[in-house]
Amino acid sequence: MEKDWVKVFASNLAYESEIIRGMLEENEIEAVIVNRQDSSFGAMLPGMDEVYVHMSNEEKAKALIAASGEEKMENNP
């Protein structure tokens, strides 16, 4: 991930991250999902999906996420 991107959401449920990414993109905020699952364990252990946005959109993205009631983010930086 490039240095100008920040994590705004993380979940061990992939669908939650997809919902957040979709909501952000509907509000004209480019967002990407990074899967942090350890591939050596495959599906045996849950991984974290993290949603990143460009730092210029961080405040707006966090406000939208808070308004949606999906403020879950483990390992908050």
Q: Where are the domains of the chain?
A: 5-68
Are 33 and 13 contacting, i.e. CB atoms less than 8 angstroms apart?
Answer: no
Is the pLDDT assigned to residue 75 strictly greater than 50? no
The pLDDT value recorded for residue 45 is 54
Tokens of 11: 């979940």
pLDDT tens-digit readout, 41-51: 555 556 789 99
What's 2-53 look like in SS3? CCCEEEEEEECCHHHHHHHHHHHHHCCCCEEEEECCCCCCHHHCCCCEEEEE
Tell me, which fold does domain 5-68 have in CATH?
A: Alpha-Beta Plaits (3.30.70)
pLDDT tens-digit readout, 1-53: 568 999 999 998 889 999 999 999 999 999 999 987 765 555 555 678 999 99
What's the distance, CA 43 to chain centroid? 20
pTM of the model: 0.78
Are 69 and 24 contacting, i.e. CB atoms less than 8 angstroms apart?
Answer: no
The pLDDT value recorded for residue 76 is 43
